[in-house]
Amino acid sequence: MIVATNLCFRTIPTTCTTVKQQKDPPHQLNLVIPTKTKACECFDLHKELIPYEKAWSWQKQIVKQKKSLLQEHEDCPDTLIVLQHNPVYTMGTGSSENYLNFDVKEAPFDVYRTERGGEVTYHGPGQLVMYPIINLRNHKMDLHWYLRTLEEVVIRVLSSTFSIKASRIEGLTGVWVGNQKLAAIGIRVSKWITYHGLALNVTTDLTPFSWIVPCGLRHRQVGSIKGLLQEFQSSRQYAEAIKPFPDDYQLIDISYRSLIKEFSEVFNLEIHQKAITVPEFWREDH
């Protein structure tokens, strides 16, 4: 399930620019579009717990702004938001309540039905959520390509930073390690502007997933980076290779920096960090 002979948590700079592409091995999909590098503003709230409803409203506000820019034939730069959520369940447009293992009127956490695709999932502390709000006209106007490219970002993060061999499963959206799903993806695209995005379980408490049928898949499991690394650490063969084991905060930071780097590379974007503090976020009309 995990392939490595020596696990090394690589140091990745917080502010990343696009790096020169390397040729993908034959077994990998070459999803990178060789176009001129474009700028992408990144709102970094990866250490913060942001209420789902606030972040959802913020995304829709940004989408509206980008549509206005397109109508005025002005440049429409890309945006990336990275954060964590307070515990919450979200459902896609056509999600079935049959996948909830509780009475929705007595839900353990708030439940939101959104306009994204996919079935029910859980968001909570220890899970990094990436919301790319990008203009696919600047990349490739192909939703299949976009979904596979989001998967590619996570697959590269797991491989390059944690030596975890992840893969796709034909017919299913997301990123898997064996039978465990580590990253869920659900998107909405309006006039070729994307929103919603992906959620990667880093140090997430997986218990709340047992109260739903995640993504409507009854015979699949949910996993996390921390859980896999602990399995890895328990192996005598590799026990000495991964000491000291990073704590939860370190794992979140390592994963965040890797996500930014790989997102920048795969989408051929130059990331510009745009600082926003939690007090500023709350003052904004999101």
Which pLDDT tens digit goes with each residue over 117-153? 999 999 999 999 999 999 999 999 999 999 999 999 9
Q: Give me the pLDDT at residue 245, please.
A: 80
Residue 27 lies in a domain: no
Q: Give me the pLDDT at residue 5, please.
A: 32
Residue 120 lies in a domain: yes
Please state the separation of Cα 159 from the chain's center in Å.
15
Q: Give me the pLDDT at residue 99, please.
A: 97
Element (DSSP H or E) covering residue 38: strand 38-50
Half-sphere exposure of 18 (CA within 13 A, CB side): 19
Q: Which residues are catalytic?
A: 215
Q: Give me the pLDDT at residue 31, please.
A: 63
- In angstroms, the CA 92 to CA 114 distance is 5
Residue 32 lies in a domain: no
| Count: domains in the chain | 1
Q: Give me the pLDDT at residue 124, please.
A: 98
Residue 237, token pair as written in the block: 């063969």
Q: Give me the pLDDT at residue 244, please.
A: 75
Amino acid found at 187: I
Question: Dihedrals φ, ψ of 22, to 5°?
Answer: -105, 150
Residue 134 lies in a domain: yes
Global confidence as pTM:
0.86
Residue 214, token pair as written in the block: 């995640």
Q: Give me the pLDDT at residue 241, please.
A: 53
User: How is residue 133 annotated by DSSP?
Assistant: E
Helix axis angle for 225-234 and 143-162, nearest 10°, is 30
Q: Give me the pLDDT at residue 35, please.
A: 61
Residue 70 lies in a domain: yes
Torsion on CA atoms 112, 113, 115, 116, rounded to nearest 10: 80
Q: Give me the pLDDT at residue 240, please.
A: 55
Q: Strand 180-190 and strand 193-201: pairing?
A: antiparallel
What does each C-alpha distance from 21 to 15, 31, 33 come to in angstroms?
18, 11, 10
- 83 touches 286 (CB < 8 A): no
Question: Dihedrals φ, ψ of 132, to 5°?
Answer: -80, 125
- The maximal CA–CA distance of the chain, rounded, in angstroms, is 62
Q: Give me the pLDDT at residue 213, please.
A: 97
Q: How many residues does the chain have?
A: 286
For residue 230, what are the domain limits? 38-277
Question: Dihedrals φ, ψ of 230, to 5°?
Answer: -65, -40
- Which positions of the chain have pLDDT values less than 70? 1-35, 236-243, 277-286
- In angstroms, the CA 177 to CA 222 distance is 10
Residue 283 lies in a domain: no
Residue 19 lies in a domain: no
CATH number of the structural domain spanning residue 205: 3.30.930.10
Choose among 128, 132, 182, 130: nearest CA to 155.
182
Q: Give me the pLDDT at residue 11, please.
A: 43
Residue 18 lies in a domain: no
